[in-house]
Structure 1
Amino acid sequence: MNILSHDLAAGNTMNAHSGGCHCGNVRLTFETGLDPSQIEVRACQCSFCVKHGSRAVADPDGRLIISVKDRAQLRTYHFGLRTADYLICRDCGVYVAAIAGDDDDARAIVIINALDDRERFDREPVPVDFDAEGREQRQARRRARWMPVEMSFG
């Protein structure tokens, strides 16, 4: 479902794209001022993302809101440089998002396969490979290109 909301602080109209995991334990709201046709879809080429058929998006001027009903059913997976939490529902197995950073500095990508209106994000995915990045380089790229995230439990 795509709904319009109003970002009062910025005075901008935001598009809200809802979604979540298959069983409903994890719910997502991706807010962006951009139309899906304007957002670059990235297909990470790491083995984790390839195995999940991941297509990810982010808007540094938008935000991702993640609501988790049962925290015990949320799995955070780490690999490689261990600089991000990959969020997977333990119950249904759906990979929904990745988060890097802590608290107010946390940034995220959303996996468009987990959005209800995923077909609207129809740009050809751009294959990306970040294996050559070091820890600092990776963190800087995420701060610049990923979006703010809010997460709630219960």
Structure 2
Amino acid sequence: MNRHTGGCHCGNIHLTFESEIEPPQIEVRACQCSFCTRHGSRAAADPAGRLIIAVKDETRLRKYQFGLRTADYLICRECGVYVAAIAGDKSDARAIVNINALDGRMQFSREPVAVNFDAESRESRLARRRSFWMPIEMRFSE
């Protein structure tokens, strides 16, 4: 299992992305929505992998929704870094990671595929995320 770590700039949010796929083989997506383009997002997921997000101070974690409101986009309130997006409820939540927030981001060398999901219905968007995004585990410090 390959483990890739990273997080936000100030260290409040820590990421661990686990995948059997080698970084150069992982598909990188460049969503063309206004949020992702403005954040320069390069997203990745492995449905057979896992993303662990550890948050030191939950009050410094911002969950932002827009459009169809089918996902929470996680942004650090302290340093402003967008790290990941989560869709679904706690028992079946799925996520993508912004590989720009990973320490070894340069290992993910595939040219990003431009994607546009504007024409999706709410139901098809949720179904796509259940199929292609990865399981998530959230941890909060006490």
Q: TM-score, normalised by structure 1?
A: 0.91
Matched, 1:40 2:27: yes
Partner SS, residue 128 of structure 2? helix
Specify the alignment match of 1:54 in structure 2: 41
1:104 to 2:91 alignment: yes
The amino acid of 1:67's aligned partner reads: A
Percent identity, aligned pairs only? 74
Shift of 1:104: 1.8
Q: CA deviation at 1:109?
A: 0.2
User: Unmatched 5+ residue regions in structure 2?
Assistant: none
Distance 2:24 2:61 in 1: 31
* Equivalent-residue separation in structure 1 for 2:54 and 2:23 (angstroms): 22
CA displacement 1:88-132 (0-9 Å, x = unmatched)? 000000000000001120000000000000000010000000000
* Higher gyration radius (CA): 1
Distance 2:91 2:136 in 1: 8
Q: Please identify runs of 4+ aligned residues in structure 1 that moved more than 2 A.
A: none
Aligned twin of 2:112: 125
Report the TM-score, using the length of structure 2 for normalisation. 0.99
Aligned-pair distance for 1:150?
0.2
Correspondence list, 1:5-16, <5 A: 14-16=1-3
SS in 2 for 1:130: coil
Shift of residue 38 of structure 1? Answer: 1.2
| CA–CA distance in structure 1, aligned partners of residues 23 and 75 of structure 2 | 24
